[in-house]
């Protein structure tokens, strides 16, 4: 067991023994929990099944709440280096007419960033804090009393197991925790493309554009000095729209004003369907589930990773305050779950117009851009001060 040395008396071992966590998944949730636990003196080993930490999904928006967590983890500067500070989001219709303009409150930061950069920054910070990251290491199950079972048959005992292994979490399923798992009617293809010299010269990386045409959407987001993140969203039933590599002539018919941009898309693309997941409980014994495995949601307000990181940090925060692990996990869930569920509800709600007829959707989007109530609901998670970051400016 890490944290003990041969020759120590049992008494000294109890006094000095580090608590040990085995973490599954090297995404936003697993890395946040790993870094935050290691900062609090835990010995931490993180298992990532892939041979490298390589997130899918190209770019990502990270709002004030998630940025505060990155700061606490010591990953902020590296994560946002070169990324534009997002200030304006335009919603446009099929004729490229602006339906609404949202300007973010400048006191609340929003960055659009290359995912790989954020994951690298989180992994570097975690390693600096002593986390052991084991690549090519797949876990398949866990027991409530703290045993992690690996694909190669080996077993690891821990005080705490954290499942951050994504929507198809094997650890969660081995504990029978799912209350509801629902595929949603839409999904997305996400890619990064190189900026043109004109885009680089324009200097304004802070305006993002969400452009609708029928039930399809193109989201244009500059994410670095040299790259733009493009998300194509469509109904899951839209067989041509979700085809990869993307069907350029078909997308150009839907978005003629984006024809030049569509021509720049490469062949390397992947389609992901959106999902909603709710658990009976976020933990079982001393196994905690967090991130998409516990609370997947559609990306309509860009808060899946934000919630994953907040819940990773808050998990470590409550474990630091409660001696008994299962009590700490209950307190964690009682305090953190309501905001995550609000985020899920509002994200699902904002996805409903995808299936509506165009005139109704247009009316909704125009109104949604003006409704103070809806803006407050939509930005509640971004404005939230995550537990464990209250002492920051
Ligand atoms: P994942 O990112 O899925 O990471 C899980 C990790 O676990 C992976 O590295 C995987 O290889 C590993 N793994 C899986 N199984 C095992 C196993 N058995 N053993 C070992 N390792 C394993 N969120 C935002 O905050 N802002 C956005 O702008 C945003 N945009 C999005 C756009 C789209 C189209 C989509 C689909 C999602 C978006 N999200 C966004 C949501 C965000 O991507 C997720 O919420 C986030 O990635 C969840 O992180 P995670 O660590 O829980 O899971």
Q: Which helix (H) or strand (E) holds 11?
A: helix 10-16
CA 202, CA 187: separation in Å to the nearest integer?
31
* Nearest residue to 285 (alpha-carbon basis) of 145, 156, 150: 145
Q: Tell me which residue has tokens 């995808």.
A: 354
CA 288, CA 282: separation in Å to the nearest integer?
6
pLDDT in tens, 64-79: 999 999 999 999 999 9
Check pocket membership of 173 for ligand 1, CB cut-off 6 A. no
Residue 4, pLDDT above cutoff 70: no
pLDDT at 297 (0 to 100): 98
For the chain, helix, strand, coil in percent to 5 are 40, 25, 35
pLDDT at 201 (0 to 100): 86
More confident residue, 23 or 84: 23
Check pocket membership of 22 for ligand 1, CB cut-off 6 A. no
Residue 32 CA, ligand 1 centroid: distance in Å: 12
Residue 177 CA, ligand 1 centroid: distance in Å: 19
Residues 366-381, mean pLDDT to the nearest whole number: 90
Q: How would you class 152 by CB atoms within 10 Å of its CB: exposed for 0-12, middle for 13-18, buried for 19 or more?
A: exposed
* Nearest residue to 99 (alpha-carbon basis) of 91, 109, 89: 91
Categorize the per-residue pLDDT at 108 as very low, low, confident or very high, splitting at 50, 70 and 90: confident
Residue 348, pLDDT above cutoff 90: yes
Categorize the per-residue pLDDT at 2 as very low, low, confident or very high, splitting at 50, 70 and 90: very low
Residues 336-359, mean pLDDT to the nearest whole number: 95
Question: Which sign does the torsion angle of CA 344, 287, 329, 44 carry?
Answer: negative
Residues 364-384, mean pLDDT to the nearest whole number: 91
Check pocket membership of 283 for ligand 1, CB cut-off 6 A. no
CA 14 to chain centre: 37
Q: Which residues pair with 112 in a beta bridge?
A: 61
Check pocket membership of 241 for ligand 1, CB cut-off 6 A. no
pLDDT in tens, 229-241: 999 999 999 999 9
Residue 276, pLDDT above cutoff 70: yes
Categorize the per-residue pLDDT at 366 as very low, low, confident or very high, splitting at 50, 70 and 90: confident
Residues 92-96, mean pLDDT to the nearest whole number: 90
Check pocket membership of 310 for ligand 1, CB cut-off 6 A. no
Residue with the smallest CA separation from ligand 1 atom 2 is 27
pLDDT at 144 (0 to 100): 98
Residue 249 CA, ligand 1 centroid: distance in Å: 31
pLDDT at 8 (0 to 100): 38
CA 188 to ligand 1: nearest atom: 34
pLDDT at 5 (0 to 100): 38
Check pocket membership of 64 for ligand 1, CB cut-off 6 A. no
Average pLDDT, the chain: 93
Categorize the per-residue pLDDT at 178 as very low, low, confident or very high, splitting at 50, 70 and 90: very high
Contact 289, 171 (CB under 8 A): yes
Residue 31 phi/psi, 5-degree rounding, is -70, -35
Check pocket membership of 60 for ligand 1, CB cut-off 6 A. yes
Tokens of 349: 């709600």
Of the ranges 102-116, 129-143, 146-160, which one carries the lowest mean pLDDT score? 102-116
CA 274, CA 277: separation in Å to the nearest integer?
10
pLDDT in tens, 17-66: 789 999 999 999 999 999 999 999 999 999 999 999 998 889 999 999 99
Residue 166 CA, ligand 1 centroid: distance in Å: 5
Residue 28 CA, ligand 1 centroid: distance in Å: 7
Check pocket membership of 161 for ligand 1, CB cut-off 6 A. no
pLDDT at 16 (0 to 100): 52
Check pocket membership of 50 for ligand 1, CB cut-off 6 A. yes
CA 29 to ligand 1: nearest atom: 51
pLDDT at 106 (0 to 100): 84
CA 304 to ligand 1: nearest atom: 45
Check pocket membership of 298 for ligand 1, CB cut-off 6 A. no
């Amino acid at each position: 067991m890490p944290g003990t040395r041969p020759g120590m008396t049992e008494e000294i071992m109890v006094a000095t023994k580090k608590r040990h966590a085995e973490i599954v998944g090297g995404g936003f949730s697993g890395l946040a929990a790993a870094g935050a636990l290691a900062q609090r003196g835990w010995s931490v080993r993180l298992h990532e099944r892939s041979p490298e930490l390589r997130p899918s999904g190209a770019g990502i928006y990270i709002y004030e709440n998630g940025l505060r967590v990155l700061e606490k983890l010591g990953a902020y500067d590296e994560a946002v280096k070169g990324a534009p500070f997002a200030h304006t989001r335009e919603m446009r219709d099929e004729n490229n007419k602006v339906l609404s303009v949202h300007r973010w409150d400048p006191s609340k930061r929003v960055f659009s960033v290359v995912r790989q950069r954020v994951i690298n920054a989180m992994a570097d910070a975690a390693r600096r804090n002593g986390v052991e990251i084991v690549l090519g290491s797949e876990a398949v199950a866990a027991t409530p009393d703290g045993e992690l079972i690996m694909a190669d048959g080996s077993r690891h005992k821990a005080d705490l197991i954290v499942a951050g292994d994504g929507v198809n979490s094997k650890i969660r399923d081995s504990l029978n925790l799912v209350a509801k798992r629902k595929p949603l009617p839409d999904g997305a293809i996400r890619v990064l493309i190189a900026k043109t010299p004109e885009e680089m010269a324009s200097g304004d990386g802070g305006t993002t554009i969400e452009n609708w045409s029928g039930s399809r959407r193109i989201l244009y987001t500059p994410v670095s000095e040299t790259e733009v993140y493009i998300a194509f969203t469509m109904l899951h039933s839209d067989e041509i729209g979700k085809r990869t590599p993307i069907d350029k002539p078909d997308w150009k018919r839907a978005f003629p004003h984006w024809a030049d941009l569509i021509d720049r898309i490469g062949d390397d693309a992947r389609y992901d369907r959106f999902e909603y997941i709710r658990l009976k409980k976020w933990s079982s014994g001393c196994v905690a589930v967090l991130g998409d495995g516990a609370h997947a949601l559609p990306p309509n307000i860009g808060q899946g990773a934000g919630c994953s990181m907040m819940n990773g940090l808050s998990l470590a925060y409550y474990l630091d305050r409660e001696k008994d692990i299962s009590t700490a996990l209950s307190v964690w869930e009682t305090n953190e779950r309501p905001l995550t569920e609000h985020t899920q509800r509002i994200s699902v709600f904002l996805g409903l117009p995808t299936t509506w007829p165009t005139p109704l959707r247009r009316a909704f989007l125009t109104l949604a851009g003006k409704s103070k109530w809806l803006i407050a609901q939509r930005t509640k998670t971004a404005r939230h001060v995550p537990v464990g970051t209250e002492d920051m400016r």
